[in-house]
Amino acid sequence: MVFRMPAIAISLVALLIQAQAAKPPTFFKTPLTVQEMNNKQAVVNTSAGTFVIDLRPDVAPNHVGYFMKLAKEGAYNGTIFHRVIKYGIVQGGDPLSKDPAKAKLYGTGGLGVLKAELNAEKETRGAVSAVIQPGKPDSAGAQFFVCVTDQAALDGKYTVFGRVSEGMDVVQKISEAPLGPDGATPAERITIATVEIRDTPPPEPVPFAADTPADLSKYRAVLDTSAGPITIEFFGDKAPEHVRNFLRLAAAGAYDGTSFHRVVKGFAIQTGAMTSRGPLTEKQQKLVHNLQPEFNDTLHVKGIVSMARGDDPASATTSFFIVTGAASSLDNKYTAFGRVVDGMAVVESIEQTPVNGETPVNKIELRGVKILK
């Protein structure tokens, strides 16, 4: 016997199917208010280092609320950065990436939860945005990506919900990871250990900001070079901002690993160029800026420490030199800000090093700078 469904029943089933098909998707809506989510940061601890995201509930409240929810539940723990483009973006957060056996599915998990919250934030370096399914703007979820460099072509297409405020050097390092056979996933798993949500801490006090010129003159700097130590005193009364800048760079370790890249006998030895060391951290990079000249009446004689610059009088940044002979041509044209008080024998030994043109044949390193008071 063949069972035949009554026509009325068929019509009811068809209507039910149509109603189900027409039912709009249910998107996540955060129970938190924007005020409750304001001034929050996400501390992302990875196997490659830690970076910090300033969350932006003012422009994408549901994205921020969902990210915070997942972070507090530990949902990101054990996931990996499954897609990286060198100096482009790094992508992570897929719950499927916890399982190495599901590698072919990486990039497909945890989506379809959030409606787009497109905003005016640009996809510039450090922007944190939601991943979506191709052609489906209302399909975001757990996955996110971070721009390593500006990606103007992505502006207005993805929901930006945060921005990296610390640790962009870590993000960049992740983007540089060697890739596996698929050409997108790092060959070695770069894992997110935890994502911690915290209140944004108050800004750190700016080092040496409150020091008066008299205070600045009380500091001493010991240059730890591969040729021996050199101790410098400072002219806080004559070039306070140059002294302050030098102390900040030294305290932050920006000078560590630079080299004496220029040696001219009877004239000067020069060091402190950031191009002579490895990459700076994000915090160190923020300290590098042009200085307004503070030319003064200090004569450029043997032992004087002065700031190097280009043709523009306001182009000095980090590089400095120690005068090894009378150099009156520099007077009132370069900012003298200190003097060697111990270690002139070390300065003289560096001056005598063999050079190719003005570049030492063998590297003479400035290993670090110790600040004393």
Residue where a domain stops, chosen among 199, 232, 254 = 199
Q: 181 and 227: one domain?
A: no
Same domain, 185 and 221: no
- Tokens in use for 300? 């450029």
The answer to whether residues 190 and 217 belong to one domain is no
Between CA 119 and CA 362 the distance in angstroms is 54
Cα distance between residue 220 and residue 243, in whole Å: 10
What's the domain range around 172?
34-199
Whether residue 194 lies inside any domain: the answer is yes
- Last residue within a domain, chosen from 143, 166, 199: 199
The pLDDT assigned to 282 comes to 80
Closest CA to 242 of 182, 191, 296: 296
Residues 244 and 294 in one domain: yes
Are residues 169 and 230 part of one domain?
Answer: no
Residue 1 in this model has a pLDDT that exceeds 50: no
> 317 with 195, same domain?
no
Query: Could you read off the pLDDT of 202-228 as tens digits, one per residue?
Result: 988 999 999 999 999 999 999 999 999
* pLDDT of residue 16 exceeding 80: no
In a domain, 10, yes or no: no
Strands 365-372 and 220-225, by their bridges, are antiparallel
| C-alpha of 308 from chain center | 26
Residue 245 counted as domain residue = yes
23 confidence band (pLDDT: 50, 70, 90):
low
**pTM score, whole prediction:** 0.73
Q: Based on the domain organization, do 220 and 368 belong to the same domain?
A: yes
Distance CA 201, CA 221 (A): 31
Residue 292's closest CA among 337, 234, 235?
A: 337
CATH number at residue 246: 2.40.100.10
Among 177, 199, 221, the domain boundary falls at 199
Residues 57 and 186 reside in one and the same domain: yes
A 10 A CB-CB count for 200 gives: 13
The shares of helix, strand and coil residues in the chain, as percent rounded to the nearest 5, are 25, 30, 50
On whether both 150 and 225 belong to a single domain, the answer is no
The count of domains in the chain is: 2
- Do 336 and 220 share a structural domain? yes
19 in a structural domain: no
pLDDT at 3 over 50: no
Q: How many CB atoms lie within 10 A of CB 9?
A: 10
Dihedral over alpha carbons 260, 272, 279, 55 (to 10 degrees): 170
CA atoms within a 13 Å half-sphere pointing along the CA-CB vector of 171 = 28
Query: Burial of 134 by CB count in 10 Å (0-12 exposed, 13-18 middle, 19+ buried)?
Result: exposed
